[in-house]
């Protein structure tokens, strides 16, 4: 069975959904604000004769109809970074500020890490963690090419992340762009559908729950945690949120994204989830001509802050 059949009840237009999933994914680059501005990048691409199309909802993204983002000199000089449109969404939701302490729990190969550093004007501290030592070399390379200096790299299992090597004991914000079954990447990697098994979905969901729980624990009360995946599976999305909401002191909060999305689902396959998971965003390929994605934003310490507001010891 093609796993996409599982989600036909969740989409508004099954034919459009399936057709979009079968089309190749457009090549997209993100402007690196640490070294260049969008206007200067446009001028450089024009000078080089590189065809591009601005992405309407983000001035720092360009589609390259001819593909191969790494073959032009603005890319080589660190002005551009190849990054899918939907991959930019977690960073927008996180909204990291200069001077903050931010944890990227599953950081390699570094697209979102370097975007976060850019949003922070390369000030403060980004702790970029990944449990795969080999993939961290790509993260380091990307950070160096893009001129990022505020990022430190750690190699830990995020589920048991230790703050001991750091000079502080909590983060202001954390991003969990979790390892997943990757169904939403089928436009650039069709093999993910052939390799899909429900057993893998169940296994990776357990890992996702552990990482997200640790991110909540490591973030200060009032801080922000963003959870994202590139899968359609509710078992890896809303069910993970539902689990962590019951186990940790946090709440899912509403937030806006600048492209077409649909709310998270509250029921799936006989399971009912916390109603607040509806505040998450699902991105389907046929709505914006992108990959598939899921993104949710959590505020940490919701119960503790509520008790404090009522004058009760948390």
Catalytic residue numbers read 230
Question: Is residue 111 a contact partner of residue 142, using CB atoms and an 8 Å limit?
Answer: yes
Bridge partners of residue 5, in order along the sequence: none
Burial class (CB in 10 A: 0-12, 13-18, 19+), 193: middle
Rg of the chain over all Cα atoms, to the nearest angstrom: 19
In the numeric block, the tokens 């001819």 are attached to 66
| β-strand pairing of 101-104 with 125-129 | parallel
- Closest C-alpha among 241, 295, 237 to residue 94: 295
The tokens for 293 are 């994605």
The span from the CA of 53 to the CA of 49, in Å, is 13
The span from the CA of 2 to the CA of 220, in Å, is 42
The span from the CA of 241 to the CA of 234, in Å, is 10
The span from the CA of 216 to the CA of 239, in Å, is 16
Q: How far apart are the first and last CA of the chain?
A: 49
- Ramachandran angles phi, psi of 166, nearest 5°: -95, 165
């Amino acid at each position: 069975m093609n796993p996409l059949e599982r989600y036909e009840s969740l989409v508004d237009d099954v034919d459009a959904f399936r057709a979009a999933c079968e089309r190749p994914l457009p090549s997209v680059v993100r402007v690196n604000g640490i070294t260049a501005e969008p206007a200067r990048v446009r001028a450089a691409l024009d000078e080089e004769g590189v065809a591009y199309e601005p992405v309407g909802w983000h001035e720092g993204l360009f589609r390259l109809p001819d593909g191969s983002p790494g073959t032009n000199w603005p890319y080589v000089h660190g002005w551009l970074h190849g990054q899918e449109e939907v991959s930019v969404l977690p960073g927008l939701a996180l909204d990291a500020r200069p001077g903050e302490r931010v944890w990227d729990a599953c950081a390699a190969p570094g697209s979102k890490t370097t975007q976060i550093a850019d949003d922070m004007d390369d000030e403060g501290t980004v702790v970029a963690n990944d449990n795969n030592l080999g993939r961290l070399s790509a993260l380091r390379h990307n950070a160096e090419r893009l001129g990022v200096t505020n990022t430190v790299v750690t190699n830990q299992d995020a589920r048991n992340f230790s703050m001991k090597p750091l000079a502080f004991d909590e983060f202001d914000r954390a991003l969990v762009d979790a390892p997943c079954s990757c169904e939403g990447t089928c436009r650039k990697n069709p093999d993910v559908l052939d390799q899909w098994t429900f057993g893998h979905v169940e296994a990776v969901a357990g890992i996702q729950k552990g990482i997200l729980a640790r991110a909540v624990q490591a973030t200060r009360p009032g801080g922000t945690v963003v959870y994202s995946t590139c899968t359609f599976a509710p078992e890896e999305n809303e069910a993970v949120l539902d689990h962590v909401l019951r186990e940790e002191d946090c709440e899912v909060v509403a937030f806006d994204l600048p492209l077409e999305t649909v709310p998270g689902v509250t029921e799936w396959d006989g399971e009912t989830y916390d109603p607040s998971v509806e505040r998450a965003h699902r991105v389907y390929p046929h709505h914006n001509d992108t990959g598939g994605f899921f993104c949710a934003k959590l505020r940490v310490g919701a119960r503790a802050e509520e008790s404090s507001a009522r004058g009760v010891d948390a």
